[in-house]
Amino acid sequence: MDLKEKLISDYRLHESKLNGFARGKIYNIKLDAERYFELLGFPNRKQEDWRFTNVNPIITNNYNYDLGAQPQISEEDLQNFLVPGLKANTIVFINGIYSDKHSKIITEKGKAYIGTIKDTQKSNKELIEKYFAGNADYKTDGFTALNTAYMNDGVFIHVSKNTEIKEPVLILNITDSSKGEIMYHPRVLLVAGESSKVSLIEIYESDGENFSFSNAVTEIYSENNSEVHYYKIQNECDKSYHVGTTQVRQERDSRFNSLTVSWGGSVIRNNLNASLQNKGADTIMKGLFIASGNQQIDNHTLVDHASPYCHSNELYKGIMDENSNGVFNGKIMVRKDAQKTNAYQMNKNIILSKSALVNSKPQLEIFADDVKCSHGATTGQLDNEQLFYLKARGIGEKEGKKLLLYAFANEILEDIPIDDLKVYLEKKLSEKLEKNNSLK
């Protein structure tokens, strides 16, 4: 029985257990999502959106997705996964199971509601039902349908109107495959109320020698004039698979600023989709991906200018080494009435080995006629002239490459407004480049 068949059959047999929610709106949505998963299944390479990324390694494993006892983690190991010095609302999940012991909310209750989806379902049912699955469409995507049907728990954040939350919300997803292959479905729902400001950080870490698959969905509602900063940091290992969809809905004058850093994982697919629903919305998407070995890192973005007078800007940079495979697919839609749209996109990649590969594909669908749109992509090697200049000053090939690669990647990190996060990422970048085989 392949994975899809197994999932479907198990859901039918253990529906109440796997659905996990009391009868109600969300329960019904999950049932509906499961039906759509049956219909859609997992994508394959024949579908345009999945042309460059091989899904087979992800779905040919024998994962355990039964929710057993909560795996344990030592305080010391946990500290290694957090951002040093950062004062944040910290919510920890291990294999998709919430760990109350390691989590802590520090923002005052009146400013924002931050809780698990399960708790919210009990304490704030109407609020969560209003937004859940309203953004990420499970009817068109198999992975989203699977997550929606199978998700056990997650995080719900609701920021009150006119409120700025200074402490970021940090969600740490730890994949523990030490006891066997594991699959789980992280889920996040963030509603930033009118004129509010909040930062959301999602960190993925792993432990254990077996294969794992995290299939995530994050929905973000950015109401009028709100400002959301979103960070997704992927530090898993070469036995981890990850598919994640972050769906953002932006209202009038809202600002969404996103940074995706992908350097740990065997096959990673990030879908980042922003829909600009009303005038004055501003969207910034930055990404950095560094791959080596046989890693496959695929970043698909969609910026849907559904309204006039909006602005978007994307910059994704990749460093590919050894046999790795990178994909950047940036789709920009400018609808018929979206006049005065300003949309920019840039993808820059450096290839360090003969067998590394990058597929860079911009997709611009422009239906309005008074717009400014541009896209660009460069893929090349390190600049020999620069390397020689460094050598002529006594900096050898290895150190020179590290210096240039660090400078290349750091452009993505330099504007991070959260100092502790910036320092943490710069340090990880240095460590990553130190370990890189081409630079040994």
Partner 1 sequence: MLSIKNLRASIHGKEILKGINLEVKAGEVHAIMGPNGSGKSTLASVLAGKEGYDVTSGEVIYKGKNLFDYSPEDRAREGIFLAFQYPVEIPGVSTTNFLKTAINEKRKYLGQQPLSSVDFLKMLKAKAKFVELDTEMTSRAVNVGFSGGEKKRNEIFQLAMMNPDLSILDETDSGLDIDALRIVAEGVNKLKTKDNAFVIITHYQRLLNYIVPDYVHVLSDGQIVTSGGKELALKLEELGYDWVEDLADAK
The residues that touch partner 1, with contacts defined as CB under 8 A, are 383-386, 388-397, 399, 403-404, 406-408, 410-411
Give, for 287, the enclosing helix (H) or strand (E): strand 282-291
State the maximum Cα–Cα separation within the chain, in Å, rounded to a whole number: 71
Q: Min. distance of Cβ 292 from partner 1 in angstroms? A: 21
Pick between residue 191 and residue 409 the one whose CB is nearest to partner 1.
409
Tell me whether residue 237 or residue 403 sits nearer to partner 1 (CB atom). Answer: 403
Q: Where are the beta strands (DSSP E) in 46-111?
A: 89-94, 97-98
Q: Which residues pair with 184 in a beta bridge?
A: 214
Determine phi and psi for 185, rounding to 5 degrees: -130, 90
Cα–Cα distance list, 102 to 78, 203, 370 (Å) = 8, 15, 52
On whether the CB atoms of residues 166 and 419 are closer than 8 A, the answer is no
CA separation for the pair 147, 167 (Å, rounded):
28
CB atoms within 10 A of CB 146: 27
DSSP-assigned letters across all residues of 146-193: HHHHH----EEEEEPTT-B--SPEEEEEEEE-TTS-EEE--EEEEEE-
Shortest distance in whole angstroms from residue 407 CB to partner 1: 3
Residue number, 366 or 390, with CB nearest to partner 1: 390
| Measured distance CA(303)–CA(331) in Å, rounded | 6
CA proximity to 50, closest of 290, 271, 315, 216: 271
Q: How far is the CB of 258 from partner 1 (least distance, A)?
A: 21
Q: What angle do CA 70, 98, 23 make, to 5 degrees?
A: 105
Residue 72: DSSP 8-state: P
- Residue 125 dihedral angles phi and psi, to the nearest 5°: -50, -50
Name which of 2 and 383 has its Cβ closer to partner 1: 383
Closest separation between CB of residue 372 and partner 1, Å? 25
Rounded to the nearest whole angstrom, what is the least distance from the CB of residue 84 to partner 1 in the complex?
20
The CA distances from residue 190 to 134, 198, 268, in Å, are: 12, 10, 23
Task: Find the helix or strand (DSSP H, E) in which 38 lies.
Answer: helix 25-40
Shortest reach from residue 191's CB to partner 1, in Å: 37
Smaller CB separation from partner 1, 380 or 394: 394
157, two tokens: 């954040």
Distances (CA, A) of 150 to 54, 94, 234: 23, 16, 22
As measured in angstroms, the least distance from the Cβ of 348 to partner 1 is 11
| C-beta of 390 vs 418, nearer to partner 1 | 390
Amino acid 35 reads R
As measured in angstroms, the least distance from the Cβ of 127 to partner 1 is: 45
Query: Of the two residues 39 and 407, which places its CB atom closer to partner 1 in the complex?
Result: 407
Q: How far is the CB of 109 from partner 1 (least distance, A)?
A: 43
**Residues recorded for the chain:** 440
Q: Between 102 and 317, whose beta carbon lies closer to partner 1?
A: 317
For the chain, percent helix, then strand, then coil, each to nearest 5?
25, 40, 35
Q: How far apart are CA 165 and CA 83, in angstroms?
A: 18
Which lies closer to partner 1 via its Cβ, residue 200 or residue 412? 412
- Give the shortest CB-242-to-partner 1 separation in angstroms: 29
Shortest Å, Cβ 379 to partner 1: 17
Comparing CA positions, the residue from 202, 105, 192 lying closest to residue 421 is 202
Nearer to partner 1, 64 or 379 (CB): 379
The pair of three-digit structure tokens given for residue 322, joined into one six-digit string: 């050894």
Which CB, 232 or 348, lies closer to partner 1?
Answer: 348
